[in-house]
Structure 1
Amino acid sequence: MSRQMKFVAFLMAGPTSHHHAMWRHPQTENRFLDPAFWETLARTLEAGRFDAFFFADVLSFYNETVMARGGQMSLLDPVPLVAVMARATSRIGLGVTISTSFQEPYAIARVLSSLDVLSGGRIAWNIVTSAIEREAQIFGKDALLPRSERYDRAEEVLKACLDLWTGWPDGALVLDKESGDFIDEVKMRRTEITGKYVGATGVFTVPPSPQGHPVIMQAGSSPRGRDFAASYAELVFTLQHSLPDMQEFYADLKGRVDRAGRNPDDCAILVSVDPIIGETESIAREKQAYINDLVNPQLAIPFMSAHTGLDLSQYPVDQPIKDIPAETGSRGSFDVILQGTKASNLTLGEVAKRFAISELCPQVVGTPENVADELQEFFENKGCDGFIVTPTEMPGSFEAFTRSVVPILQKRGLFRKEYPGSSLRETIKA
């Protein structure tokens, strides 16, 4: 079989995704507190044979402006939401974001493994390191770890989770009614980990799922984040701005995976795209202009400040973005912004508006054939292994994509017509 695309839907349990005017679109339903809405959306994505969907997550309101204006936020914990959507589906992967900055490994491993068992092996863990001081404060912490230590803690957390997840060998769960043997305690392995940041001692309580343990997903862009992904990630979510940027990231990360002693094919790189589809190209362009004009300018700079962990309000809006220092906050996020704006020498105000529209990712605009053509170009020119599909209206963006673009890609042999198995790891490796 020839190389095929992978698709993962980007979701947030709130009013927006990347596009901060999504909730204001007249066709957006804004039923983000209704479990039936999410169940229907999960079935739509599964009918489109998406590899998975995943929920990005924010543990606190970024700031008062973002809260008041309906910017990016999570109004529900994605863990129970994923459980609801798992019951409505049988094949699609279910991704959940959990930060390594505040929870202990056992708590993370237990909840994710429980979801993985109950879903039949369809869970992915999107690993993030928190970069927002408000998230630390809501957890009762004085401050975040220094930026240089966040991935050190993340690596300890992940290694502990992986150790816990491998504590159950084959045949350990006996369940023999006649003998009364329930678990073969001799086969069970204890975890004994004491690290600088976290530890775990004891026997893990959750039996393994059909895929063994959750798929590891990651979205770091800094050099340290890329090294982390190269060592552990099976799916990588990245924000890139054009085909050359995608190709540069793709080649760099695949090289790091190889140097980490892994097969580069075992780490799929997915770039974020925002499809806007119309019956004609002119209709699609009108849709694009309409939704982009709904972004509130008062929201743009506070949001980008919160996302990067930098107070950008202290700089003039006409200052070139490349001249702004970034010694704190999320270095990877700010580097992505700089990369996407260096060719145009954009000002802070110009960049902030674009960031609130798509986080500087491509808006793929046109007829279904136009959109399919552009995705094929990115894919076949080694810009990616697939796509994070991000909506601009809900649920219409996903309905239009699955009903109009997916069949074209299937006809071209670029995307599956059926799931290869029942677990997420089977799907992404096919």
Structure 2
Amino acid sequence: MTRLQHFGWFLGRGFGPHGWGLPSLEWNYRWTEPRLYQESARTLEQAGFDVLIIEDAPSLGSPETIDLRVRHAFGGPKHDPLLLAPYLFSATEALGVLPTVNPAALLPYTAARQFATLQHLSGHRLGLNVVTDTGSARHFGDAPQLGHDAAYDRAEEWLSGVRDLWRSWPDGALVADPASGRYADGTLLAATRHRGEYFAFDGPLNAIPFTDGEPVIASPGGSGRGLGFAGANSDIQLALSSLDEESIRSYRARIHDAARAAGRAAEDIKILFAIPAVIVPSREEAERIVAASAHPGEEEILRIAQRQSSDLETDLTALDPDAPLDPGVFGDHVSQGSIRRLIGGHDIATTPLRTILGAHARLGRLSDGSGFVGTADEFADRIEELGEWGNDGVLLWGDVHPVTVHRTLDELVPILRRRGILRDGLEPGPLRRNLFAF
């Protein structure tokens, strides 16, 4: 039986130079202005998507590698997605918007007050994608950079403090009774005195309580600590996994186990698997694209090297592509996980760099589960399979240039609706209500 799924869009490039390096740049949208994002947000809402999640990285990287990240606009510049959110709310009525936030960048009281303000201004449609990026620490103070698990500890304390501040106005504190002339009962407000390992602050919060629930919390992260954070704190988990049945069921089970370990129910978290889908008009076109990707040319190898150089903050373009990759080129600032993702299953001691980069160019078919290239019907087939395995929904991954959004959705949305996979629009109102409607 077909199972209704939640759909979202993950803006993987963040609030950055959309269209740069692509023919769509000639549409003359300005990435620094709201119109591009507002137009696509309206399209996503009309399509019946629940959420738009906006990636962010507040840092351009280490001083030695900044040029690698800005040279081709892969790693920056990026403007603050939290300040873009009000423009998206003003253009829509039901779409949830989740800017990425970093606990290192915002003190809990400031964060709680700003988020509360946006939650009210948006009609309770705000969400927050909480990340634990530690590479930007030097921008926010001179404290030593935290390790992986410690960054999650700080994020957990930060989010707990933000929620305590939101809840410092208990039921009955907001009176708002014109007949009596009394607006609030200050004797009921909680002091909310917090003294923790990473933060110290006092409440109560100078913002009124919510009428339709707190902002929705999302989180990425596939490590044991990351899954534990999601289980204890998140309403949405951004999941990266192979889309075979065993991987899907295993990933969901780990999240649900983490939720139950934190005293929550499995259904308290919506798990959305990220899919960088390439929707094409025919199977023949899908075969052509996949076949062509198996033999990338020099231009494509260079483009991949430039992107990987930005992500790894290491200039791969300066290395001999026909020689094996020396692990010593990576500084201490580069995570081992990022290096493993670059290398894949290759033997770093014997595999030429060209081969490693070429593997990142190769695409696979939706129809056989080897990748994400396929027709709209093949995409719908795959989503139906995910639903049969108990999945909650998916995140399409890409930029939000209107050309990209329409190219992906124009044929896909009608097919998903006819099959009963995608709901026919959203009811205007709070994100939490739409997200947990099924």
TM range (shorter): 0.7 to 0.9
**1:156-175 → structure 2 map (5 Å cutoff):** 156-175=157-176
Equivalent position amino acid for 1:116 in 2: Q
Counterparts of 2:174 and 2:158 in 1: how far apart (Å)? 26
| Mapped contact 1:117–1:209 kept (Cα < 8 A) | yes
Rate the CA distance shift 1:327–1:393 in 2: closer, same or farther, 3 A: same
Counterpart in the other structure of 1:97: 100
Rate the CA distance shift 1:130–1:353 in 2: closer, same or farther, 3 A: farther
**CA shift for structure 1 position 114:** 0.9
Counterpart in the other structure of 1:378: 386
**CA shift for structure 1 position 121:** 0.6
Counterparts of 1:105 and 1:393 in 2: how far apart (Å)? 30
**CA shift for structure 1 position 420:** 4.9
The answer as to 2:5 corresponding to 1:5 is yes
**CA shift for structure 1 position 371:** 1.8
Deviations 1:293-323 (A, max 9, x none): 65614413322314xxx89899986658999
| Mapped contact 2:235–2:268 kept (Cα < 8 A) | yes
Counterparts of 1:109 and 1:303 in 2: how far apart (Å)? 33
Equivalent position amino acid for 1:120 in 2: G
Equivalent position amino acid for 2:190 in 1: R
Structure 1: any 5+ residue segments left out of the alignment? 17-21
**CA shift for structure 1 position 351:** 5.0
Counterparts of 1:404 and 1:103 in 2: how far apart (Å)? 41
Equivalent position amino acid for 1:278 in 2: V
Counterpart in the other structure of 1:138: 139
**CA shift for structure 1 position 176:** 3.1
Q: Look up the SS of the partner of 2:39 in the other structure.
A: helix
Counterparts of 1:279 and 1:365 in 2: how far apart (Å)? 11
TM-align CA RMSD: 3.4
Larger CA deviation: 158-167 vs 346-355: 346-355
| Mapped contact 1:23–1:393 kept (Cα < 8 A) | no
Counterparts of 2:221 and 2:214 in 1: how far apart (Å)? 21
**CA shift for structure 1 position 186:** 2.2
Counterpart in the other structure of 1:19: none
Q: Look up the SS of the partner of 1:212 in the other structure.
A: coil
Counterparts of 1:2 and 1:227 in 2: how far apart (Å)? 31
Deviations 1:368-404 (A, max 9, x none): 112211232233234x421111126722232233332
Task: Tell me how many residue pairs correspond in the alignment.
Answer: 413
Structure 2: any 5+ residue segments left out of the alignment? 364-368
**TM-score, normalized by length of structure 1?**
0.84
**CA shift for structure 1 position 35:** 1.1
The alignment-based identity, stated in percent, is: 29
Higher alpha-carbon Rg: 2
**1:277-426 → structure 2 map (5 Å cutoff):** 277-284=279-286, 296-306=303-313, 319=324, 330=335, 337=341, 341-342=344-345, 350=355, 364-382=372-390, 384-391=391-398, 394-420=401-427, 422-426=429-433
**TM-score, normalized by length of structure 2?**
0.83
Rate the CA distance shift 1:314–1:26 in 2: closer, same or farther, 3 A: closer
| Mapped contact 2:58–2:78 kept (Cα < 8 A) | no
Rate the CA distance shift 1:83–1:385 in 2: closer, same or farther, 3 A: same
**CA shift for structure 1 position 419:** 2.1
Larger CA deviation: 61-70 vs 48-57: 61-70
Counterparts of 2:284 and 2:24 in 1: how far apart (Å)? 19
**CA shift for structure 1 position 334:** 5.9
Counterparts of 1:356 and 1:83 in 2: how far apart (Å)? 37
**CA shift for structure 1 position 3:** 4.0
Counterparts of 2:178 and 2:362 in 1: how far apart (Å)? 60
Equivalent position amino acid for 1:57 in 2: D
Counterparts of 2:220 and 2:431 in 1: how far apart (Å)? 18
Equivalent position amino acid for 2:82 in 1: V
Equivalent position amino acid for 1:23 in 2: W
Deviations 1:153-180 (A, max 9, x none): 1111011011111112233222333433
| Mapped contact 2:2–2:419 kept (Cα < 8 A) | no
| Mapped contact 1:272–1:387 kept (Cα < 8 A) | yes
Q: Look up the SS of the partner of 2:71 in the other structure.
A: helix
Counterpart in the other structure of 1:51: 50
Counterpart in the other structure of 1:124: 127
Rate the CA distance shift 1:327–1:77 in 2: closer, same or farther, 3 A: closer
**CA shift for structure 1 position 356:** 8.5
**CA shift for structure 1 position 142:** 5.5
Q: Look up the SS of the partner of 2:172 in the other structure.
A: coil
Counterpart in the other structure of 2:366: none
